[in-house]
Amino acid sequence: MLQEIIAIVREAGRIVLSAHDVESVTRAKEHNAANLVTAYDEAVQAHLREKLTALLPEADFLGEEGEHDPLTRDWLFIVDPIDGTTNFVRHLNYSNISVALAYRGEVRYGVVYNPYVDEVFAAEKGRGATLNGRPIHVTDHGLDRAITLCGSTIYDRRYTDRSFAIMRHLYDRTMDFRRFGAAALDVCQVAAGRADVFFECRLSPWDYAAGSLILAEAGGVLTRLDGTAADPREGGSVWATNAVCHDAWRELPGE
């Protein structure tokens, strides 16, 4: 199943790489100038819906774009066709396709693919995490040696003050921070040991469902910012770290 999903996601990556005149097919969602969607997001999602539901017809499909059907089945594909759409529109080459397959709310398979650098992060529950087929693992760095990745929850400005308060808190306690703009890839960077902490005050399920399994299989931990379990079918805050840094959530600035 994992290899089949990887093959389908790689096919979708070719749609991303074929993009041209992107700004002419870009619009803002829900009158929010920061929340963009392009015709390529929609084309990738249509491709993934067709291929993935053919692979597992008994699965529901939850994708970022368009209306969502009621979720009534045990199996569920959770899909972000292009995570980091603003990066995609601006040709920053830090975007990804993210696919999770969950059973009764537990992610069993996860694939996150950055077609620009041809990197496939993948995991099957209980079998470890890989990058282009090679095993990956989180670091054992403490907070003082950590690189922090973050999102700024730009789609919902109600979280702005807390986002920057947490960032300042971590800035004072860690080695440095980065803001790249694609949550699924950021979680995978922690899984691969390239960074040690990622947080964002509000994400949708497709932003982190696949990455949550990849991180867990690489020895890391993903929860809410209050340390509680994250349901991959529901949105919420995300605190994704190596095992050493995870308890630092206890000292994060509150609401």
Domain 2-135 CATH class label: alpha beta
CA–CA gap between residue 192 and residue 126 (Å, rounded): 17
Output the pLDDT for position 155.
Answer: 85
- Helical axes 183-191 vs 205-217, angle rounded to 10°: 10
Task: Return the domain boundaries, the chain.
Answer: 2-135, 143-251
Identical fold, 2-135 and 143-251: no
Mean of the per-residue pLDDT values of the chain:
95
User: What is the pTM (predicted TM-score) of this model?
Assistant: 0.95
CATH no. for 143-251: 3.40.190.80
Report the amino acid identity of residue 79. V
31 pLDDT exceeds 70?
Answer: no
- Predicted local confidence at residue 32, as pLDDT: 67
> Quick one: pLDDT at residue 33?
65
- For 135-171, the pLDDT digits (tens) are 999 999 999 999 999 999 988 889 999 999 999 999 9
Dihedral pair phi/psi, residue 61, rounded to 5°: -135, 120
Give the whole-angstrom CA distance, residue 245 versus residue 198.
10
